[in-house]
Amino acid sequence: MSNELIVKKKEIKATEKIVENIKSILEFYGALGFEMLPIKCLSLVKTNDQSDKLFDKGSLLKYLRKEIGDCNRCRLSKGRTNIVFGEGNPDARLMFIGEAPGREEDLQGRPFVGDAGRLLTRLIEKMGYKRKDVYIANIVKCRPPMNRDPEKDEIEICKVFVEKQIEIIKPVVIISLGRISAQTLIGNDRLKMTSIRGNFFDYKGIHLMPTFHPAYLLRNPKDKWLTWSDAQKVLERLKGIKG
């Protein structure tokens, strides 16, 4: 093969990579509801190997956090201290999704750091992981007043962000924590936890396991064994799926 042909093939491959990057940008901002492309995002299109770094999962999560900004899209913004975006391994095979931040989460800007969070951490470690190995987020990013349940319109406005987090991370399994998380991800607000927990559902090709919220388990410790049973099913499912 001539040197000229080799160079030509490299140029074609580089062009294809740029096109894919542009597609990723368009899909990313489209999912956030942008009708026009922000000018600043044009700097993300690179013609060299740096483009790979710009489009890794960690970078995309950072871009998503920047797009959320100092969010005032719903009434929850009025009483919050911090937006609780989520944290963990961008390449996680296992993702936990709760309902909404509580008092400690609001103060620290991190998910599941109060009493319920410590119980979740123990579950994660019992499963053989560390918190840094998984990804943890919530359906809504701001604390509802008096720790009430997030309302339907608040969920509808905010859920695009957790949906985008899932799309970026692409976990093998999601464990939804609590009724609201499960109902939102399954798309049915009439489901009861007692009838759905312990059963796998499909979320856009991802295995979804609903289980009790750690805050519920603190109030009802007799049901902890049920959540451990759900976690064991998840471990078996993860073991059976390579990657």
- Kindly list the domain boundaries of the chain, sorted by start residue: 3-55, 81-239
Cβ-proximal residues to 243 (8 Å cutoff; 6+ apart), any chain? 93, 172
- 170-224 residue pLDDT tens: 999 999 999 999 999 999 999 999 999 999 999 999 999 999 999 999 999 999 9
The model's pLDDT over 70-95, given as tens digits with 9 standing for 90+, comes to 999 999 999 999 999 999 999 999 99
- Stretch 18-26: mean pLDDT: 63
Q: Are the C-beta atoms of 95 and 134 separated by less than 8 Å?
A: yes
The confidence score (pLDDT) of residue 47 equals 45
Q: What is the pTM of this model?
A: 0.81
DSSP-based three-state secondary structure for 128: coil
Looking at the structure, give the CATH architecture of the domain made up of residues 81-239: 3-Layer(aba) Sandwich (3.40)
Characterize the bridge pairing of strands 206-211 and 201-203.
antiparallel
Q: How many Å is the maximal CA-CA distance in the chain?
A: 72
